[in-house]
Amino acid sequence: MTAPGVRTEIDGGVALVTLDRPARHNAVDLATADELAAVWREFRRDDTVRAAVVTGAGGRAFCTGIDRSADVPQPASPYSLDDPLIRIGPKANDLWKPVVAAVDGMACGGAFYLLGEAEFIVASENSTFFDPHTTYGMVSAYEAIYMAQRMPFGEIARLSLMGTAERLGARRAYEIGLVSELTPPGGAAEAALRSAAVLAAQPTDAVQGTVRALWAAKEAARAQALAHAPQLIALGNLPPDRQAELFAGRARNAQPPPVR
């Protein structure tokens, strides 16, 4: 199953979902957001799929969030927000089959919508995690909330607030529990597929029930936090034209910050 921006392969009960926009560092445009949501909804009804792996093509990035070229008009009310990334994750689409994220390269910003809804994360040793929002005059609300569910508070606070000046390396991510397994460069998807094959071999009702129980353990706090996100973004974001100026003015050839 293939669509613009997303490639899906199913083998032995495991679906491999690949963000396939390597020229854009697997940034998600509106069509890709729609396709991801459709893929997760389809898996709910496909009994041949018992587990899934989500990864990015090209080896340079898992995902770099929303494509900056995407035009997303916003309602005037600060109590409403149109965010196409809210629906790209499996849990947002009521899928309770286990999903493993495989990260090779960069995972930043809106990538956290997907990482935040995976059961666990496998990453290659050259992977980095960062959140550029504050640097470009945007509130990191959904991203910070999703990742605060799976990282120590001080770590996600630093990652969210430092913007492009911070790079969390795969080794440190493993040490703090964000990443459950490290692999050599290029090996994350293969390792994640091995884990997913084990999950797919278990009785699927028991596995899905366990996934649901795990998420129920933190669902109330997550739901309350997410309810505040639209207002925080509306109040704290710079106007879109000012955000664009900051983004356009970034030093493209600047030395990246050291990886922590």
Contact 230, 139 (CB under 8 A): no
Residue 61 lies in a domain: yes
The Cα–Cα gap between 225 and 159 comes to: 18
Residue 175 lies in a domain: yes
H/E segment holding residue 37: helix 30-45
Residue 242 lies in a domain: no
Give the predicted TM-score (pTM) of the model: 0.91
The Cα–Cα gap between 143 and 158 comes to: 13
**Residue-number span of the structural domain to which 24 is assigned:** 2-185
- In CATH, what number is assigned to the domain containing residue 108? 3.90.226.10
Residue 207 lies in a domain: no
The amino acid at residue 172 is: R
Residue 37 lies in a domain: yes
Contact 26, 56 (CB under 8 A): yes
Residue 249 lies in a domain: no
Distances (CA, A) of 54 to 130, 165, 207, 224, 248: 19, 27, 18, 27, 30
Q: pLDDT tens digits for 122-169?
A: 999 999 999 999 999 999 999 999 999 999 999 999 999 999 999 999
Indicate the number of domains in the chain: 1
Q: pLDDT tens digits for 180-238?
A: 999 999 999 999 999 999 999 999 999 999 999 999 998 888 889 988 888 888 889 88
